Amino acid sequence: MPDFYRNLNLTILVSAYFSDPRQRLNLPRGEVLIREGERNERLYLLIRGKLGASSLSGDGEQTALVHFDPGMFLGVFSFFSKTFRSSMTITAEEDCELAFMEKDQPVITNEAGETLAEQFMPVIMADLSHRHTRMVEVARDKERAYKELIQSQKLSALGQLAAGIAHELNNALSVLGGGAVWLGEVIPERLGEIAPEILEPLETGLTQGRALSSREARQRRKAIEAKFSLPRPLLEQLAGSGLDPAHLPKDPEEIRRVMAFWEIGATLFGMSVAARQAAHVVKSVKGLGAPHAADRVSLDLNGTVQDAMILLKSLLRQVNVESDLGDLPHIPGNRGELIQVWVNLIKNAGDSLLHDRTPDPQIRISSTLEGEWAVVRIRDNGPGIPAGIQGEIFQPNITTKVSGLSFGLGLGLPIVQRLVDGYGGKINFVSRPGETVFTVSLPVNGIPAGEKTA
């Protein structure tokens, strides 16, 4: 079985539904198993060989998405969504042998009395997680190609040159985003029929994600400790979830079960945020060379900081990230642009800490209202930016390296400055060994879109 199935016990499922020798299929190399948009009423298990999946782009070209190795399931989403329409074309890259089950195949009842979809729910989740990982790898490959591209071109040409990359990334993002949305709809519907008591934690995760700040989580933990006697990991997870302790069961095992469903919802929420933000970045890259007014609405600035932290959660697992977000009024802005600012600054801090192997690496993110300005500070205890290049870090194609470390792609900080300038805002920093602080100040009342300077 593939690595991403390693924690799943699939022996019973394979034995129950894929052991009939009459339900076998040999597929020669080059043959198509499933075509995009066509009907698929089977769930496949690859026994031998290798297959590749692709999707048709807007210009009629096939864009490679994922590969399937022995032990992987195929047709998961078209089969369980009940639309029975494939979202991609799957072709044999080698001679293949597959086992399959039909849509009307009798369900073998297990001890829990689960439906077919419930029995395969771990497979669905693992498959989506694997696809997400592969899409991230595809995006990183494109990013590396993009880095080589921008080194040889002027900033003013970025819009035209990025168009080819953008449509390929959009294909991958549409699969990721569509899968997250579908799971967010079907999981509550299916599980709510048999266990309505888990709908509240599941929906809370789906709609709010991991939205609480470190300060809020600490305050909640004290209140929860007074009511429950729980292991510390479960206590911290519960404190950060936003779930109402008054509605929780008393039994720790039941609480653990509730938190498992909250985690499913929060993970899907994070994936949806990632897909939306990646789509925004792809779109915004095309406009880097030409200033234009992005659509602005009244928004929660702290919410954009929290979204950025969600996007970077997996990259900063080894860093202690704390947030202290004060009360701020809503400001006029574009959510994607602001998330782009915070992602660049937070990721730079994390890269510096991890590359330097800073003991007890810490990032502290705070927000305050200072007169007519909403101020966000991102502080780290890393090695600092070398004094010799501190005056140049906002220039295009200037990388700030510390012992080989490169902050961003060489355009990260210039992009941040362009976006902040476009809001009539200010960005500055102080840096020395052991502490770097970037401060972004944005006017609470904003500036008219027609007066944007970037």
Distances (CA, A) of 147 to 138, 165, 275: 14, 12, 21
pLDDT tens column, 226-235: 777 777 888 8
Question: Residue 307's closest CA among 272, 348, 281, 262?
Answer: 272
* Percentage of the chain lying above the pLDDT 90 cut: 25
pLDDT tens column, 61-95: 777 888 899 999 998 888 887 777 888 899 999 99
Pairing of strands 401-402, 405-406: antiparallel
User: Once rounded to an integer, what is the mean pLDDT over residues 101-123?
Assistant: 86
CATH superfamily of 3-112: Jelly Rolls (2.60.120.10)
Q: Is 334 exposed, middle or buried (0-12, 13-18, 19+ CB in 10 A)?
A: buried
pLDDT band at 364 (very low <50, low <70, confident <90, very high): very high
DSSP structure string for 14-30: HHHHS--TTSEEEE-TT
CB 366 within 8 A of CB 373: no
pLDDT band at 294 (very low <50, low <70, confident <90, very high): low
3-state SS string over 93-149? CCCEEEEEEECCCCCCCCCCCCCHHHHCHHHHHHHHHHHHHHHHHHHHHHHHHHHHH
Which amino acid type is present at position 270? G
CB 231 within 8 A of CB 239: no
pLDDT of residue 401: 44
State pTM to two decimals: 0.43
CB 54 within 8 A of CB 65: yes
Q: Rounded to 5 degrees, what are φ and ψ at 27?
A: -120, 110
Which amino acid type is present at position 343? V
Question: Residue 355's closest CA among 381, 313, 379, 383?
Answer: 383
**Looking at domain 297-451, does it have CATH number 3.30.565.10?**
yes
Q: Is 167 exposed, middle or buried (0-12, 13-18, 19+ CB in 10 A)?
A: middle
Q: How distant is the alpha carbon of residue 355 from its chain centre?
A: 23
pLDDT band at 99 (very low <50, low <70, confident <90, very high): very high
pLDDT tens column, 144-192: 666 655 544 444 444 455 556 666 676 777 777 777 778 778 777 777 6
Torsion angle, alpha carbons of 87, 89, 94, 98, to 10: 50
For all residues of the chain together, what is the average pLDDT? 79
Mapping DSSP to helix (H, G, I), strand (E, B) and coil, where does residue 434 land? coil
pLDDT of residue 451: 40
pLDDT of residue 302: 93
Domain ranges of the chain: 3-112, 137-285, 297-451
Encoded tokens for 381? 């205890």
